[in-house]
């Protein structure tokens, strides 16, 4: 009987990606460009939040947006219409971005001319959380219609995120979503995460989000 060799491909891929991500962070530090990775399920409001963010911060920071989608340029067109540079990454079936894909996308930017680049990751609550993109911070959105039980079902994304934006708070009165219960579940997974309720439709909470991100970017780029 022949020998059996077990090759852990998944772990090798993740290890290689972590190395690439570390190299990318070092590159971003040299250019003083803050990279934010924004994750969520489809339809939670990633593009709407980016547009609100650009509107609040474009007079203070030079902003670029890296849009990821399986096969569409719709979101990139919306972002470009706001007056900032947008680059579309078509993932061709991949349900996430990794550090290599992000590095390739960043080649389209002049990083010395940007203070902040926002990644809109592929809409998915599972795969994007597994791959380090090289971002300085991870942000995620959970919308009220998705329910307050998502930390129980998709714990990894809540565990790896630095800030959670609870979007569509204007739906709270129409649902049984329990904000306190959500926070308790999230803090059990990640005691250091910031939780910011927002409504991209009404603008509620956007000031708090803009203040959080402004502080992050200013600290990173040194102004």
Task: Write down the pTM of the prediction.
Answer: 0.91
> Is 1 part of a structural domain of the chain?
no
> Is 5 part of a structural domain of the chain?
no
Chain Cα centroid distance, residue 55: 18
Domain harbouring 73, CATH code = 3.40.50.300
- What are 134-168's pLDDT values in tens digits? 999 999 999 999 999 999 999 999 999 999 999 99
> Is 2 part of a structural domain of the chain?
no
- What are 59-99's pLDDT values in tens digits? 999 999 999 875 556 677 888 888 899 998 877 667 889 99
> Is 4 part of a structural domain of the chain?
no
Question: How many domains, the chain?
Answer: 1
| Residue 93 Ramachandran class (φ > 0 left, ψ -120 to 50 alpha, else beta) | left
> Is 79 part of a structural domain of the chain?
yes
Contact residues for 144 (Cβ-Cβ < 8 A; gap 6+): 166, 167, 168, 169, 171, 172, 175, 177
Domain range holding 142? Answer: 12-221
> Is 6 part of a structural domain of the chain?
no
> Is 3 part of a structural domain of the chain?
no
> Is 54 part of a structural domain of the chain?
yes
């Amino acid at each position: 009987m022949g020998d059996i060799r077990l090759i852990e491909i998944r772990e090798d891929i993740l290890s290689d990606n972590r190395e690439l991500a570390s190299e990318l962070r070092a590159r971003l530090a040299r250019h003083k460009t803050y990279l934010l990775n924004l994750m969520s399920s489809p339809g939670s409001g990633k593009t709407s939040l980016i547009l609100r963010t650009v509107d609040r911060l474009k007079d203070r920071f030079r902003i670029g947006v890296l849009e990821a989608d399986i096969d569409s340029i719709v979101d990139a067109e919306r972002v470009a219409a706001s007056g900032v540079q947008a680059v579309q990454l078509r993932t061709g079936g991949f349900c996430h971005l990794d550090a290599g894909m992000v590095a390739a996308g960043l080649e389209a930017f002049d990083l010395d001319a940007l203070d902040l680049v926002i990644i809109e990751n592929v809409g998915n609550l599972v795969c994007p959380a597994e791959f380090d993109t090289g971002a300085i911070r991870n942000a995620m959105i959970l919308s009220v219609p998705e329910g307050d039980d998502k930390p129980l079902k998709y714990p990894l994304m809540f565990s790896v995120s630095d800030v959670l934006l609870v979007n569509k708070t204007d739906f709270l009165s129409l649902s049984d979503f329990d904000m306190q219960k959500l926070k308790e579940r999230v803090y059990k997974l990640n005691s250091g995460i910031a939780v910011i309720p927002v409504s991209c439709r009404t603008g509620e909470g956007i000031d708090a989000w803009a203040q959080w991100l402004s502080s992050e970017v200013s600290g990173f780029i040194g102004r």
